[in-house]
Amino acid sequence: MLTDGPGDDVVEVQNLVAQVMMAFGQVMQAGTQAQVTEAKKVLTQARKALYVILASDDSDDAPSSEDDAE
């Protein structure tokens, strides 16, 4: 978990989110209705993918029961 303050990963992710917001703003201003619809699909897929990442069992970070026994 990222609780020790804004490290490099946090800053990098914030920059990526800002870039996505700027790109979406451009689509909203200059894009056709079909492009806006496609952009909404991309954002929906990204949101779902982030929740899949969060819900996945990341066994590399969690200690196994074998580690506890040592």
pTM of the model: 0.66
Tokens of 24: 């979406």
Band (4; pLDDT cuts 50, 70, 90):
low
Band (70; pLDDT cuts 50, 70, 90):
very low
Q: Dmax of the chain from CA atoms?
A: 61
User: Which pLDDT belongs to residue 2?
Assistant: 54
**What is the tens place of the pLDDT at every residue in 11-66?**
999 999 999 999 999 999 999 999 999 999 999 999 999 999 999 987 665 555 55
Interatomic CA distance for residues 50 and 55, integer angstroms: 9
